[in-house]
Amino acid sequence: MPGRFITFEGIDGAGKSTHIDAIAERLREAGATVLCTREPGGTVLAERLRELILHAPMDALTEALLVFAARRDHLQQVIAPALQRGETVLCDRFTDASFAYQGGGRGFDVTVLADLERWVHAGIQPDLTIWFDLDPAVASERRVAARAPDRFEQQGIAFFQRVRDGYRARMEAAPGRFVRVDAQLERAAVAQQIAAALEARGW
């Protein structure tokens, strides 16, 4: 694909969403056409599925299938066409989140997730994944102060520690794609870490 695909990952409360707009502006100033999107979501269908995923009771398999169904529509309708046009796509979460939340947090079979990833992605993978790594206890304090919790955010510290471990496993499996940032630092320091990751790639 001629475009660039950058994803942003981390447990709820890590602060990643606050940096995406600034990164988009930086890339636009450098001449890139930038599309910002999110998962689950990004299309009319995927946003409907997002509401179910975040709020309706379900088991881990149903959750995984709905997430990947939303992702398939998102890839076909939004991400792949933008990349083909040569745009830079910034996505707030992608498939690493499935391995972290459903695989790590829920304890779901990661081999099934790997099969779903292969079927759904059709060869598309991020060029860069920025992982906002944060202690789950600190993230919990931030979430309580920010908003009413969804069904994931209602989970305890142990769940989010497993999610964090799931992200770490994904980074270890693809170290060339991942950049870890210390999300416990002040916002300016986090932004500096992200800028360094982009500059290292000439972006």
Q: How confident is the model at residue 138 (pLDDT cuts 50, 70, 90)?
A: confident
Q: Taking a C-beta distance cutoff of 8 angstroms, is the pair 71, 93 a contact? A: no
> pLDDT tens-digit profile of 142-168?
656 556 666 787 788 899 999 999 999
Taking residue 181's Cβ as centre, other Cβ atoms within 10 Å add up to 25
Say which range, 56-60, 65-69, 121-125, 133-137, has the weakest mean pLDDT. Answer: 133-137
Q: Quickly state the pLDDT bin for 179 (edges 50, 70, 90).
A: very high
Cα–Cα distance measured from residue 54 to residue 152, given in angstroms and rounded to the nearest whole number: 7
Distance CA 155, CA 9 (A): 18
Strands across the sheet with 178-182, in order?
34-38, 88-92, 4-9, 128-133, 178-182
> Higher model confidence: residue 113 or residue 142?
113
Per-residue pLDDT, 153 = 73
DSSP class of residue 77?
Answer: I
pLDDT at 203: 87
| Assigned CATH for 4-200 | 3.40.50.300
Domain ranges of the chain: 4-200
Residue 10: pLDDT band with limits 50, 70, 90? very high
Between strands 4-9 and 34-38, the pairing is unpaired
User: What pLDDT shows up at residue 112?
Assistant: 97
Burial grade of 24 (CB within 10 A; 0-12, 13-18, 19 or more): middle
Is residue 180 scored above 70 in pLDDT?
Answer: yes
Q: What is the pLDDT of residue 2?
A: 84
1 pLDDT tier (thresholds 50, 70, 90): low
Q: What are residue 131's DSSP bridge partners?
A: 9, 180
**Residue written as token pair 């779901």:** 108
Percent share of the chain, pLDDT over 70:
95
**pTM of the complete model:** 0.92
Q: What pLDDT does 147 receive? A: 61
Q: Where are the alpha helices (DSSP H) in the chain?
A: 17-29, 44-55, 60-74, 80-84, 95-98, 110-121, 136-146, 157-173, 187-200
Distance between alpha carbon 51 and the CA centroid of its chain, in Å?
Answer: 17
**Residue pLDDT, tens place only, 54-110:** 999 999 999 999 999 999 999 999 999 999 999 999 999 999 999 999 999 999 999
Q: Report residue 155 as tokens.
A: 């989970």
* pLDDT tens-digit series, residues 13-34: 777 878 999 999 999 999 999 9
Q: Are the C-beta atoms of 124 and 72 separated by less than 8 Å?
A: no
